[in-house]
Amino acid sequence: MAGTTIVLVHGAFADASGWARLAAELSGDGVDVIAPPNHLRGIGADAAYITSVLDELEGPIVLVGHSYGGAVITAAGNHDKVAALVYVSGYALDEGETLGELQGRFPDSPLAAALKYTPFRIAGGEPGTDVSVDRDKFPQIFAADLPIEVTRFMADSQRPLSAAAFTEPSGPPAWRSKPSWGIVAGADNTINPDVERFGYERAGMTVTEISGASHAVFMSQPGAVAAVIREAVAAVVAVG
């Protein structure tokens, strides 16, 4: 595993600190683990930023994306240093597909009724809209299997996603050319688990389903998520 870097890309309504328990779980594996910020402004812009992070690393890289971070790694994963992808309760978009279109194939999750829309200003540009989760509903929707004192603060510190991200078409998907693994959170109230299953199956991923896990499965069950990442790392090492 030496020489491999695991890059953890967080999703919407969260930040990179959520990866702390998973990073600790992987810390004894002889790999480098980094968790850069995901700016949550749109797939193209966010993938471009993550690509700039990858430019500064040595390969091989295992790129891990949670939730909307899955859409980001689908694009950024085309980087030539990326050897494998891991989706954690994430979106695996196809070329030309939007988040809204993929979600629209299936019934809404409880998240849909809990979203809040807030305008924001852009210097010299058109105003945008931020999307966040109602603070009172956040704990049950995002991370029902975490202690309430943790999820209350997560609700208060959440980072919004630009509404434009829901209608931005995805580019060529990295999962077409890179080995990929997908984790389904069986009790996900943020993304309908069928959205995860559909995307993973379409991409031909190796799929692991964690029963009873919330959308924040990487926080509530870091050992189970780490086991899947280790599979990806082992595959990279075997090929190398």
Residue by residue, pLDDT tens for the chain (240 residues) are 458 999 999 999 999 999 999 999 999 999 999 999 999 999 999 999 999 999 999 889 999 999 999 999 999 999 999 999 999 999 999 999 999 999 999 999 999 999 999 999 877 778 899 999 999 999 999 999 999 999 999 999 999 999 999 999 999 999 999 999 999 999 999 999 999 999 999 999 999 999 999 999 999 999 999 999 999 999 987 765
Is the backbone of residue 122 left (phi > 0), alpha (psi -120 to 50) or beta?
beta
Nearest CA to 9 out of 89, 103, 83 is that of 89
Give the HSE-up count for residue 101: Cα atoms under 13 Å, Cβ half-sphere: 12
Do the bridges between strand 5-9 and strand 61-66 make them parallel or antiparallel, or are there none, so unpaired?
parallel
Is the separation of the CB atoms in 70 and 170 below 8 Å?
no
CATH superfamily of 5-239: Alpha/Beta hydrolase fold, catalytic domain (3.40.50.1820)
Element of type H or E holding 183: strand 180-185
Is the separation of the CB atoms in 182 and 90 below 8 Å?
yes
